[in-house]
Chains A and B, each alone.
Chain A
């Protein structure tokens, strides 16, 4: 945790310090990654496919161990949304949302209460008894988000969750994420290869280079929340997106 300065605000919810990931065959996936995400910060890492962005999240969550450096995060209060909704197809929406509470031994009544609250929060009220087969891609993703919410996470990891959805669903879900971010106040770390999505959602955008992944640029996003969909078409947005885009391209020439 980087809070040595007593005057600093709430210390980082998620902290990478000199993190490196080298695979057994010698490929360096990540090199010297250091950054913090504080509560109420929404950080997006943008980079080309294969640059190690997903690896970063796996290290943060503990699914993969880092080769060097350290990660500091409360893994019991971690929300993780995968690229695939990863729902259990034989369970209803309600039972799927309850799953994580079950795995953490939370009792039945409390589980049901939290699940219902989460379902309402993501706008799936009324679909509790549906099975995943009857849901659209966007609804399945919402179920996945609701599931993560039941553990009241302080840190939320998103691994390109909307990549498989159509443009319209994607934009709607972007709005949902912003709404949740505002109301729940978690520290968000989002991975995407869409720079527009990155700029639209975040308080800060980090640009990652192709393998070996390094942070090559950082942008502060000044827009206020809540962010209207029309923001995407303002000159300020275009300018910032242009800068991020240049940094992305620059990463290739590095």
Chain B
């Protein structure tokens, strides 16, 4: 038993180190590749006078991220954007789930609402900017609305899909015991839908970051200076190093949110949801 546990323990340490390597190494390798291409394009693709268009990575890193003043500005912008993202995401989740639940009650409701949900997703924001401005002004509320418009669709479709996925045998069991439609919703359909619902949240989280930044492009009012506004600012002044830094950190925000929502979802369904393939 002792010799076996000794083998198991070295195996264990070795095993988790290997598992960690499996997660970290591929993205890092890809990153190294990307940076390599970046250097190539910056030094070989551009002449010295053009190099400001795409500065090499180390310049972006030192000027854009390691210098405190720009970094502070970018981080403050990121914070302001995060507030918009979170508020927008929460609204998307509540409204999106409500719409999906409504659609799940009857096929005719689903058919009626669905085209509007699709249309919502495809509206070019620039086209409806005046309407939103008229209704909600050009500041925080408008930005949140844009975030909601861009991120709500996956919440609706994934929730609806999940609600309709409950096993037929389970429905029969509930019918046998004369369960009301509400009971069915709370005790059967919603719990069964959890994996799909959280997948919807994950996708919506990423879209919400995009949505908030787009909102900040079109609605610049109010005191908050979100990262979208900063990106536009740096673009106009051709401060490419800060621009790239802002873009990289925005992407990071999206990734972090995605992972957080994913972790919450995995934890909530850990006892029963089919595990994601490793």
| Contact surface of A with B, Cβ cutoff 8 Å | 61-63, 80, 82, 84, 86, 88-90, 99-100, 102-104, 131-133
B179 touches A86 (CB 8 A): no
Binds A, one of B142-150, B152-160, B164-172: B164-172
Q: How many whole Å from B170's CB to the nearest CB in chain A?
A: 6
Is B267 close to A, CB under 8 A?
A: no
B272 touches A62 (CB 8 A): no
Which interface residue of B167, B177, B194 has the most chain A CB atoms within 10 A? B177
Taking CB atoms, residues of chain B closer than 8 Å to A133 are 271-272
Q: How many whole Å from A132's CB to the nearest CB in chain B?
A: 7
Q: How many whole Å from B192's CB to the nearest CB in chain A?
A: 8
B272 touches A86 (CB 8 A): no
Taking CB atoms, residues of chain B closer than 8 Å to A82 are 169, 172-173
Enumerate the 5 nearest inter-chain pairs by beta-carbon distance, A residue then B residue, closest first.
A89-B272, A103-B177, A131-B271, A86-B169, A90-B191
- Given A103-B177, A133-B272: A90 and B170 interface contact (C-beta under 8 Å): no
Can you offer 10 A-B residue contacts whose CB atoms are under 8 A?
A: A61-B176, A80-B176, A82-B172, A82-B173, A86-B170, A88-B192, A90-B191, A90-B192, A103-B183, A133-B272
Out of B175, B183, B187, which one reaches A63, CB within 8 Å?
B175
Count of chain B residues near A, Cβ 8 A: 20
Q: How many whole Å from B266's CB to the nearest CB in chain A?
A: 14
B271 touches A90 (CB 8 A): yes
Is B174 close to A, CB under 8 A?
A: yes
- The CA-CA distance from A161 to B165 in the complex, in Å, is 24
Chain B interface SS verdict (over half): helix
Out of B179, B269, B272, which one reaches A132, CB within 8 Å?
B272
Taking CB atoms, residues of chain B closer than 8 Å to A132 are 272
The interface bits of chain B over 249-278 (1 if a CB of A lies within 8 angstroms of the residue's CB, else 0) are 000000000000000000001011000000
A90 touches B177 (CB 8 A): no
Is B188 close to A, CB under 8 A?
A: yes
Q: How many whole Å from A160's CB to the nearest CB in chain B?
A: 13
- The CA-CA distance from A100 to B170 in the complex, in Å, is 12
- Given A82-B169, A102-B187, A103-B183: A90 and B269 interface contact (C-beta under 8 Å): yes
Out of A63, A88, A131, which one reaches B191, CB within 8 Å?
A88
Q: How many whole Å from B166's CB to the nearest CB in chain A?
A: 9
A90 touches B175 (CB 8 A): no
Q: How many whole Å from B150's CB to the nearest CB in chain A?
A: 31
- The CA-CA distance from A103 to B175 in the complex, in Å, is 10
Which interface residue of A86, A100, A104, A133 has the most chain B CB atoms within 10 A? A86
Taking CB atoms, residues of chain A closer than 8 Å to B191 are 88, 90
B177 touches A104 (CB 8 A): yes
Within 8 A of A (CB), among B109-136: none
- The CA-CA distance from A63 to B178 in the complex, in Å, is 10
Q: How many whole Å from A24's CB to the nearest CB in chain B?
A: 19
B177 touches A88 (CB 8 A): no
* Nearest neighbor of A103 in chain B, beta-carbon distance: B177
Taking CB atoms, residues of chain A closer than 8 Å to B178 are 103
Out of A61, A63, A104, A131, which one reaches B272, CB within 8 Å?
A131
* Nearest neighbor of A78 in chain B, beta-carbon distance: B176
- The CA-CA distance from A102 to B179 in the complex, in Å, is 10
A90 touches B272 (CB 8 A): yes
- Given A88-B188, A88-B191, A133-B272: A103 and B179 interface contact (C-beta under 8 Å): yes
- The CA-CA distance from A62 to B173 in the complex, in Å, is 12
Within 8 A of A (CB), among B184-226: 187-188, 191-192, 194
Extra A-B contacts (12), CB below 8 Å, given A82-B173, A99-B187: A62-B176, A63-B175, A82-B169, A88-B188, A88-B191, A90-B191, A90-B192, A90-B272, A100-B177, A102-B187, A103-B183, A133-B271
* Nearest neighbor of B270 in chain A, beta-carbon distance: A131
- The CA-CA distance from A61 to B173 in the complex, in Å, is 11
Q: How many whole Å from B247's CB to the nearest CB in chain A?
A: 40
B172 touches A63 (CB 8 A): yes
* Nearest neighbor of B268 in chain A, beta-carbon distance: A90
- The CA-CA distance from A132 to B272 in the complex, in Å, is 8
* Nearest neighbor of A61 in chain B, beta-carbon distance: B176
- The CA-CA distance from A133 to B183 in the complex, in Å, is 24
Taking CB atoms, residues of chain A closer than 8 Å to B272 are 89-90, 131-133
Taking CB atoms, residues of chain B closer than 8 Å to A100 are 177
Which interface residue of A63, A82, A90 has the most chain B CB atoms within 10 A? A90
Taking CB atoms, residues of chain A closer than 8 Å to B187 are 88, 99, 102-103
Q: How many whole Å from A48's CB to the nearest CB in chain B?
A: 23
